[in-house]
Each structure stands twice: as structure tokens, then as C-alpha cells.
Structure 1
Amino acid sequence: MSPIRPIGNQVSNYRSTLVSDLKDWRSALSRIEGAYSDNTLRSYRADMATFEKWCAEARRRTLPASPETVAAYVEHEAERFSAATLKRRLAAVSKVHKLLRLTNPVVDEDVTIAMRRAFRRRSARPQQALGLTSELRDRLIAACPNSLTGKRDRAIMALGYDTLCRRSELVALRVEDLSTSTDGSIQVLIRRSKNDPYGNGRLGYVSPESNAFVQDWLGAARIKTGYIFRSVRSESIAESALHPFTINRILKRTACTAGLPPQIVTRLSGHSMRVGAAQDMIVSGLTILPIMQAGGWKSMNVVSRYVENANLSALLEKARAAIRRKDQAG
């Protein structure tokens, strides 16, 4: 379908339509605040804004969008973005159309075909975040200075590794979520997660060493209630929680301080602690089910992807040693 090219007075009418569209979809998304996580809403808004901008440049109608428009958008953007990114963006387009009671163009067969082309074109496997295993974690912790910021960053890496928290879960933790059980172990309540939208929560278990880092930070920052991890400005501590993206920057900055090579620094992300802890668990001999419970995973396939880059040679050596011991005992 050829692009719609406004001429004459149609230009001003078209621009008015775009302004109206912009207002409508933003208002529609505001209706679902509280029903979805802040990250999901942020993603919807950003992805819909990207689609709206493309439609304006292509002289196509944003709302309601036709299947031809959405398919053309997929074909155009597939040159630059992964199929997973396109899938996420179409989720935003779909949600807005549903909220405005408009026919959903995303479910049209032309869009499905365009997406299949995008997936086949981008057949390479997505690169997984580098796992922050215990060895790498300890190197980064050792590189943190003994300042307020350094104390906070040590606590972030230690607690993030122990609890297998996503970055959004980690920055949402509060002092009130920490507790000591009757056997002396430290627990933290992870109230809400990506795959737990209704806040049933899960418990994370914290080692004494990690808890010492956390308590050192809380004491130095004089935090007694509220968010555990906050921004530091000189000697001033913010009241609000860190932004999730800050976790990425902290890991990369600390890795640079530790003298790690660029190829490692670039692969570190807010997911690295979660990935690394899962990899260490599989190498230690744990099966998938307890790892799923520890990380709050619902899908075995997802966990399998996380641990596929674990040090399998160490795991195999442990298995061989166990076999040798069994043979000797027999």
C-alpha cells in the first residue's frame, strides 16, 4: 500500500490528527496505571511514541493504524532492530488499539507474515548478559572504595547475587523487607517481580557476608526505613530509590575500576548478578527446580538459557569425581 501523502490543506488536517492521536493514546495508557508495572507502562509509552513518530514521517495514520501500516513499520524497522524489539513494540501498538476500542491491526495476517520475515532475517541468537559469578563478583566488590558510594555498591552486588533479583526488584527492596528467621538466617521479601504482577512475593536468602555489606551501607547512610538503595550526592542521601538503569552503570563503572577488559565490561548488565548466581548454582550441582525457586522463574526453558554458559567443564568434573568415588566404594 502506497504511503498517504497529504497535500494542500490536508497537511494541517493531518497534523491535527497526529496531535489528536498523541493525546488519545497517552490518555488511554494512563487508564491502566496501577494494573501494570511501571516498567511495562514506560515501555508502552516509549514504543508507542516511536511508532507514532514513524507514522508521521511516513505520512501514515497512527490511530487507527491499518494492518498495511503496521506491516510496513515492521519491514522498515527490521533492518535496524531485533525481532524481539519489534515484538515488544507491537505489543504497545496492540494495547493502545484495544484500550481505544479500535480494531487491532497487529493480529492481521500481513503483520504476522512481516514478523516472521523479521525473525528469519535476524536468526542469530541474542547475546546473554555476562554472568557475575562469585569469582567476578568478589573482584568487583574488592574494587569498591570505602566511601558511601562504595559501601552502597558493595551491598548492591552482594545482595543482588544472593537473591537473584532483577534490577527493578533490587532497587525496590526496603529496609522493612529484611528479617532474621529463628535459625539466624537472613531473609528478604521480594514483594513484586516481572512474572509476579499481583505481588504474591518470594523470599530471598542472604548470606551473613552479604548482610554485613548491607548493614554497613545502611549504617553509614543512616537509613532506618524505606528504600535500601538510593542515590548519593556528596554526603547527601536521596529519599527515593535508585533508577533500575543505575545498576547497569554501577557494574560497568566498578568493572572498569577493577581493571577488567572492555569485552567483559560491555557485557555486564543489571541481569548479570541473576545470571551469574544461577550459573554458580548449576555448577555446584543443584538441579533446575531449586534454581527456579530461588530466582522466581516459572519456565524451565528460561532457566536453561541462563545457565547454558556456566562453567560446564567444572560441573562435568564434579560428576566424574562422583562416579569415581562410587566405583571405588563398590
Structure 2
Amino acid sequence: MKKIRTPQEGAGAVLSVRSTTASNTMPQTPPEGVLSGFSATAAQFIAASQSAATKRAYASDLKHFFANGGSVPASSAVLAEYLARCAEKLSVATLERRVTAIHKAHLEKNLESPARSETVKRVMQGIRRTLGTKQRQVQPMAKDDLLAALVMIDRQKMTIKAARDRALLLVGFASAMRRSELVAVQVEHLTYLSNGVEIFLPSSKTDQEAQGRTVFIPQANSQRCPVRALAHWLEVSEIREGFVFRAVSRHDRVARHGLSAQSVALVVKASVARAGGDRSKVSGHSLRAGYCTSAAEKGLQPWQIREQTGHKSDVALATYIRPIGRRRLPSLL
């Protein structure tokens, strides 16, 4: 079967800088400092230099900065005080991203960035030394957790929603895709083979230049086969084209639009909660972490796992292999 590769969505707009009285909508107009004097074609390519997810994150960061008394341009003293006030509430990783968003907002206006000042650098260094840089890690949804969740899904009265949730969890685990990749899969990206299914990913978080890659999901000789679960979902939902994973209404009807990345997290949390687990300890990343952890416990080499996950290095992969199996190690004493 020939894979049909859908074109990328149109390039989004570069972040524009709003004042504290700006509306709550996401910035749409590129700042004049970036696009002035360029043709429409050049402006489009400049706007496409960042992914939509990055633009949304930076827009959210700037909105928070403005809501807390910030502005562009901002002095180093204002930025330093903002970071100090937020240090007790936000993670170090979030603060670092806020600094980056504010820094880029100044550069886009051809302004001197306060993030380059020694004052801001020392404040961030003090925050790291005081609070540490360890990021919160959700629990992986390992095989046993997945099986328990599937049992509870099958007991749902909404049969179509149950078919979707079952396919979403199994495909999400077996493919080890990111949430954004999973919800972006379209019927045209699927190629069924005799021993499984190939899913073409036109782009991803680490593939900003859209070279694309293919993920293979093998068939399983059990009722928990992700390939059969996917085919069953597409059959009962009567989806023939477009997004594979879609919203399902309370009346068990399939929507036309695809799921959001956050919806994956909600499905995972609900499935874990129904099985008696703690929903606060899992997220959409739990499926990807569950595959990586389970594969490592089965003895797969890092390069083999990276072929499936798309990680560029063993260092990046290591953050997804969670130490749930350490308690099972035998004593050496």
C-alpha cells in the first residue's frame, strides 16, 4: 500500500509582544522588528522557524510575565524580581523557558535582552543551587499497569469510546510516540503489513525540518494486539480518512476533529484511576516512558529502543527509563 504523506500545516505566526492590557488571545501578528522589509514568502519561512507547540509555550510564558507586571522592553531588575517571585511556585525548567521566551521577545523587537545581564544570570544560578534542577517525572505505564487499565476499559458501557481508549493506549504504548505525534496520526499515514502496521510521522519534536520517520508496530498473538485494536476502532468509528484518534461525545458519537495532546493525558489518567491507581502520578508521557522502561527491563539495547522512540541520544533516552525495577534486584551481600 502506498503511503500518502499529508503536507504540513501552514506556518504559524511568530510571537508578537503584547502589553499588560493585551487581550487573552494568542498573538497572531509577527513583530515588526522581525518581518519588516521582507517579502511575504520570506516572512512565511521566518514564521515557520519555530514549531506551533513552541510558539504556544512562549506565548503562555509572555502572558504570565505581562500579568505579573512585566513588559517589553523590560529591565534586568524587573526580570530578576519576577524570577525570584516565581521561584517557589514554578519549576526551574519552567523558569528557564520563561527566560528564553522573554529573551526572544526582546530580540524580535531588536531590543537589548535583560536575560543577558549578569544580575539575571546570578538569580537563576541561585535558584538552581537552592531548589535544584531535578524535574518531576511521572510514573511509567508499564505492562502490568496497561493490562489493568485495559480490563477496566472493556467494562465501559460506551462501546465506541472503549474501542478508542483501548486503541489509544495500546498504540501509544507499542509505538512509544509522543502525545503530539499520536494525535497527529491520520489514516493516510497507515500502511498495513502482514506482520503489523507502519505509521508514517511527517514531523516531530526532534524533527523540526520535517524529514519524517516511520514507526512499526508488530502484531501480538493475544487479545491485546495494538494492530487489531487500531483496526477495530477504525471499523466501529467508520473513520476512513483524516485523524485516527478523535473525540467521542457523551452519546458515544465520534467527532470530526482530532484529539488534543492533553486529551491523551486525560485518557491515561482516567484509565489508571478506574484501575485503582493514582491519576496524579501519570500523564500522557507515561505510555512512552512505559515502553522505554519495559523494553529496557526486557534487555533491549538503547539503540534498539531509540529506533522506536526517535530519541537522538542515549542520554535523552535515559530520562524515559524509570527505576521501577530496582526494588527487584537481588542483594549482593
Which TM bucket (shorter chain)?
A: 0.7 to 0.9
- 1:164-185 CA-partner distances (Å, limit 9, x unpaired): 111111100111111134x533
Distance 1:24 1:103, change over 3 A: farther
In the TM superposition, what is the alpha-carbon distance from 1:308 to its structure 2 partner? Answer: 4.0
In structure 1, how many angstroms separate the alpha carbons of the residues matched to 2:140 and 2:74? Answer: 41
Residue of structure 2 equivalent to 1:191: 202
- Which residue does the alignment assign to 1:328? none
Partner of 1:95: 104
SS in 1 for 2:215: strand
SS state at 1:55 partner: coil
**1:162 maps onto 2:174 in alignment:** yes
Q: Indicate the residue corresponding to 1:325 in structure 2.
A: none
Aligned to 1:44: 58
SS at match of 1:206: strand
Q: Which stretch shifts more, 215-224 or 292-301? A: 292-301
CA distance in structure 1 between the partners assigned to 2:237 and 2:22 by the alignment? 48
TM-score normalised over the length of structure 2: 0.81
What is the aligned partner in structure 2 of residue 82 from structure 1?
91
**Do the aligned partners of 1:26 and 1:45 also contact (CA within 8 Å) in 2?**
no
Indicate whether 1:311 and 2:325 are aligned.
yes
1:151: Cα distance to partner?
0.6
Could you tell me how far apart the structure 1 residues matched to 2:288 and 2:95 are? Answer: 25
Aligned residue in 1 for 2:40: none
What is the aligned counterpart of 1:231 among 247, 261, 264?
247
Letter aligned with residue 260 of structure 2: H
Matched, 1:276 2:290: yes
Q: Distance in 2 between matches of 1:24 and 1:169?
A: 23
* Distance in 1 of aligned mates of 2:110 and 2:208: 24
**Could you say which residue in structure 2 is the equivalent of 1:288?**
302
Equivalent-residue separation in structure 1 for 2:187 and 2:52 (angstroms)? 21
The amino acid that maps onto 1:285 is: G
Residues 111-130 of structure 1 show CA distances to partners (whole Å, capped at 9, x for unaligned) of: 11111111112126323111
Instruction: State whether residues 33 and 41 of structure 1, in contact with CA within 8 Å, keep that contact through their aligned partners in structure 2.
Output: no
d(CA) in 1 for partners of 2:232, 2:30: 45
- Aligned residue-pair number: 293
Q: Is the 8 A contact 2:160 2:253 kept in 1?
A: no
Q: Distance in 1 between matches of 2:162 and 2:258?
A: 17
Q: 1:172 and 1:217 mapped to 2: Cα distance?
A: 16
SS in 1 for 2:140: coil
Residue 234 of structure 2 is aligned to residue 222 of structure 1: no
Residues 93, 26 of structure 1: CA spacing in aligned structure 2 closer, same or farther, 3 A cutoff?
farther
Distance 1:256 1:102, change over 3 A: same
Q: 1:266 to 1:18 in 2, by over 3 A?
A: closer
Shift of 1:153: 0.5
In 2: Cα distance, 1:274 partner to 1:69 partner: 39
Shift of 1:77: 0.9
**Which residue number in structure 2 is paired with residue 28 of structure 1?**
30
Separation in 2, partners of 1:100, 1:230: 39
Alignment partner, residue 123 of structure 2: 114
Q: Would you say the 8 A contact 1:25–1:96 is kept in 2?
A: no
1:170 partner SS: helix
1:240 partner SS: strand
Quote the residue 1:8 is aligned against.
none
Q: In structure 2, what is the Cα distance between the partners aligned to 1:102 and 1:17?
A: 15
**Deviates most, 43-52 or 119-128:** 119-128
Greater alpha carbon shift after TM alignment, 101-110 vs 268-277: 101-110
CA offset at residue 297 of structure 1?
Answer: 0.6
Structure 1 unaligned spans of 5+: 1-15, 57-61, 321-330
1:270–1:308 CA distance, 2 compared to 1 (3 A): closer
Distance 1:121 1:55, change over 3 A: same
Aligned to 1:172: 184
Residues 130 and 18 of structure 1: is their aligned pair in 2 closer, same or farther, counting only changes over 3 Å? closer
Confirm whether residue 241 of structure 1 aligns to residue 258 of structure 2: yes
Residues 71, 283 of structure 1: CA spacing in aligned structure 2 closer, same or farther, 3 A cutoff? same
Amino acid corresponding to residue 299 of structure 1 in structure 2: S
